[in-house]
Amino acid sequence: LYGYAGHTLRIDLSTGSIEKQPLKQEWVDEFIGGRGFTAKILYDEIPAGTDPLGPDNRFVIAMGPLSGLFLPAAGKTHFAAKSPATGGYGDSNMGGHFGVTMKYAGYDVTILTGRAKEPSYLFIDNDTVEIRPAGHLWGKGSTEVEEILKNDLGQEFQILTIGEAGERMVNFACISHDFGRQAGRTGIGAVLGSKNIKAIAVRGTQDIPVFDPKGLLKKGKATYAACREKPGFKGWTPEGTAGITNWCNDVGALPTRNFATSHCDYADKINGKAILDELKITDKGCFSCPIPCGKYGLSKTALGNKYVEGPEYETLALVGSNCELSDIHAVAHVNWLCDELGLDTCSGGAVVSFALECYEKGLISKQEMGMDVTWGDLDSIVHILKKIAKREGIGDILANGVKKAAEKIGGDSDKFAIHVKGLEWTGYESRNAPGMMLGYMTADVGAHHNRCWVLGSDVANAVGGSQDANVHDLISQGANFETIPKADHKNVVPLVLKSQHLRPAFDILGTCRLQYMEIGLETHYYEELYYCATGKKLDFNKDLLHLSEKIWHLNRMFNKREIPDFGRKYDYPPPRFYEEPIPSGPNKGHKVEFAVIEEMLDAYYAARGWDKNGIPTRETLEKFNLAVE
């Protein structure tokens, strides 16, 4: 089996059973790797109606066929489980060096079931796999645990950890690795915590068999060279994702004050340049990446000096402008705190901003909050996050995410609980971006930009009259973004489908998407590398995107099976977006009409081959060879 380590590691934490099994040929043939494996395994192996935080849930780690090989950015690890945030399909991925080391240890897939009897960590050293006690690590921060285990076991071990939030099963707890990398979304860290697993330590020293080693080496070198020659190569690395902050603010898409508006007047203080000027010590990249977008720096605030990786754009948006925190050191401090506590900064920022608005409107009292809190105040934000991670008082309610918190808090808080399916919205305010909004609404995991990003086309449509208009050219030609006309929603569906199939396709192969998305590495490189690795032909646009589409149907069926009354109503955006016009900034006055939401959903379901309630039809499932109910 070329391109794969060839094994699945199955651990039943309740019984202590550890099995090394051959990787299933059926998974490889039909689902290739990564996100394909996790979709198949979750549907087939999780018993219907399983409690996401119960022992029957599966925690799955999956690699792709390109992971760990000599080619650009082939180091993504895919994690999946039934999500405690949404009750449906959940996944999240991270870079760093963990997954490739799992593959070098011999495992393409790892499946955890059950629950360890005591706080534990997994020790994996090639064929030696042990469940070890971790009472001495429980209650400690993520990077603290990583350092302890590296010192105990050896620096060559790669470590995954959860923080206190994962231990207490906060619905947006993340998994941390490599002193600052996270798999943040869908509460994947809470599932690991529910299994009493504080960390996984792995060392791997084995080869991955490939079909054409010389060809792969030659093609890998050529792909690195191609990356270096791309016009965007030099421009991407300095600021990484943070480089988009001012653009988002200029086009009225920067979430501000719990998505009340989409523009702030302090974007210059929390952008990529501010990171370079104020924080940065060095660039930091994942395994084999030629365009390292991570920034490692030092945050200095009254709460102390902290070394931190980030903040990335999503953190700048959700912790920065969305909580009205306008100091880059303060944003970086919150980033550090979330990393230590093991909280996703996207959902973490969104939940704090929701809590601040509840407090401002009198829906949470000072006594419940434990102190007087306010927008833009570092102490307030730190206070709320600590309460959440410890599940203290109001923190216990907020720890379940904005959807469930609004159900408890009541009043009109459901109108400004910004989520889809229970997953908090990420960093792109979309009231005048219909394609982007539809992408968020229909994503299998809830409101996550990993699945679809068509904001540039929405803006081009609004300011240039066509989805293909080049926004950068329009800016250089002096386009005035002081007021942006209403974007047309009529033709967004094909664009959304294309992005929804393309963006997560890289999660199947096990590579980072940013080499393709940000610097324009052509798809033929992936086809050629896949052939050298596996000996199989892969047409990126035909075969890979077809599989990506198949996964959309499969995950939709998982959600239908697992979420009672699942259907169309789970695809609606929060009321704020169709009831409240944006009060300020270039998109002032815009909102998305509810009739437009319905129209877009009708067109989207029809194009997907789903019925009016958003459920795949029998014909669609047969067309994709999916024998699921």
C-alpha 49/C-alpha 144 separation (Å) is 36
CB 202 → ligand SF4: shortest distance, Å?
19
Residue with Cβ nearer ligand SF4 (286 or 378): 286
Residue with Cβ nearer ligand SF4 (78 or 195) = 78
Task: Give me 14's structure tokens.
Answer: 């309740």
Binding flag, residue 294, ligand SF4 (CB under 6 A): yes
Segment lying near ligand SF4 (by CB under 6 A), choices 156-164, 291-299, 320-328, 398-406: 291-299
Is the Cβ of residue 293 or residue 325 nearer to ligand SF4 in the bound state? 293
Selected from 289, 399, 502, 529, the binder of ligand SF4 by CB under 6 A is: 289
**Closer by beta carbon to ligand SF4, 227 or else 397:** 227
Residues in 447-466 at the binding interface with ligand SF4, rule: CB under 6 A: none
Binding ligand SF4 (rule: CB under 6 A), the pick from 514, 532, 603, 621 is 514
Cα end-to-end span (Å), the chain: 31
Q: Are strands 197-203 and 120-125 parallel, antiparallel or unpaired?
A: parallel
Q: At what angle do helices 345-360 and 401-409 cross, to 10 degrees?
A: 20
Say if residues 407 and 413 touch (Cβ distance below 8 Å).
no
Q: What are 530's two structure tokens? A: 């896949």
List the one residue from 160, 460, 512, 601 that touches ligand SF4 (CB under 6 A). 512
Structure tokens at 463: 């300011």
Part of the chain binding ligand SF4 (CB under 6 A), chosen from 243-251, 292-300, 575-583, 612-620 = 292-300
Calculate ∠ Cα 614-440-490, nearest 5°: 75
Distance, CA of 286 to CA of 296 (rounded, Å):
13
Nearest to 284 by CA among 175, 178, 203, 145: 178
Rounded Cα gap, residues 71 and 57, in angstroms: 34
Residue 208 or 293: which CB sits closer to ligand SF4? 293
The Cα 414–Cα 404 span in angstroms is 9
Residue 359 CB burial class (10 angstroms; 0-12, 13-18, ≥19):
buried
- Answer whether 173's CB lies under 8 Å from 342's CB: yes
By CB under 6 A, which span of 144-152, 265-273, 290-298, 591-599 interacts with ligand SF4? 290-298
> Contact between 291 and ligand SF4 (CB under 6 A)?
yes
Cβ proximity to ligand SF4: between 85 and 293 the closer is: 293
Q: Which is nearer to ligand SF4, 193 or 240 (CB)?
A: 240
The span from the CA of 309 to the CA of 307, in Å, is 7
Q: Which residue has the tokens 């697993």?
A: 197
Alpha carbons 316 and 468: distance in angstroms, whole number: 28
Q: For residue 68, state whether it binds ligand SF4 (rule: CB under 6 A).
A: no
Q: Does the protein bind ligand SF4 through residue 422 (CB under 6 A)?
A: no
Q: Is 95 in the site for ligand SF4 (CB under 6 A)?
A: yes
Site for ligand SF4 in 582-601 (CB under 6 A): none
Q: How far is CA 194 from the centre of its chain?
A: 20
| Cα-based angle 229, 96, 33 (whole degrees, multiple of 5) | 85
Looking at 17-25, 220-228, 284-292, 576-584, which segment touches ligand SF4 (CB under 6 A)? 284-292
For ligand SF4, the closer of residues 286 and 364 by Cβ is: 286
In whole angstroms, the minimum distance from the beta carbon of 512 to ligand SF4 comes to 3
285 scored as a contact of ligand SF4 (CB under 6 A): yes
Distance CA 74, CA 391 (A): 37
Q: Which CB atom, from 149 or from 519, has the smaller least distance to ligand SF4?
A: 519
Contact string (CB under 6 A) for ligand SF4, positions 223-262, x = contact? ----------------------------------------
Nearer to ligand SF4, 63 or 325 (CB): 63
Distance CA 474, CA 420 (A): 33
Q: Nearer Cβ to ligand SF4, position 106 or 285?
A: 285
Q: Which tokens belong to 359?
A: 């407090």
Q: Is 270 in the site for ligand SF4 (CB under 6 A)?
A: no
Contact between residue 375 and residue 355 where contact means Cβ atoms under 8 Å apart: no
Q: Is 574 left (phi over 0), alpha (psi -120 to 50) or beta?
A: beta
Interface stretch with ligand SF4, choices 104-112, 283-291, 320-328, 416-424 (CB under 6 A): 283-291
Give the shortest CB-163-to-ligand SF4 separation in angstroms: 21
Distance CA 241, CA 223 (A): 22
**Nearer residue to ligand SF4 within complex by CB, 13 or 74:** 74
Shortest distance, CB of residue 296 to ligand SF4, whole angstroms?
Answer: 11
CB of 605 to ligand SF4, least distance (A): 33
Segment 13 to 52, residues that bind ligand SF4, using CB under 6 A:
none
User: What is the nearest approach in angstroms of ligand SF4 to the Cβ of residue 292?
Assistant: 5
Nearer to ligand SF4, 281 or 607 (CB): 281
Quick one: which of 270, 286, 502, 521 contacts ligand SF4 (CB under 6 A)? 286
Q: Least CB distance from residue 322 to ligand SF4, whole Å?
A: 22
Nearer to ligand SF4 among residue 123 and residue 506 (C-beta): 506
Task: For residue 160, give the nearest of 215, 112, 97, 103 by alpha carbon.
Answer: 97
In the chain, the amino acid numbered 593 is E
Q: Which of 9, 53, 73, 251 binds ligand SF4 (CB under 6 A)?
A: 73
Q: Which member of 55, 292, 393, 609 binds ligand SF4 (CB under 6 A)? A: 292
In terms of DSSP bridges, do strands 419-420 and 158-161 run parallel, antiparallel, or are they unpaired? unpaired
How far apart, in Å, are the Cα atoms of 565 and each of 39, 160, 561, 627? Answer: 21, 36, 9, 21
Q: What are phi and psi of 393, to 5 degrees?
A: 55, -125
Give the binding site for ligand SF4 (CB under 6 A). Answer: 73, 95, 285-286, 289, 291-294, 512, 514
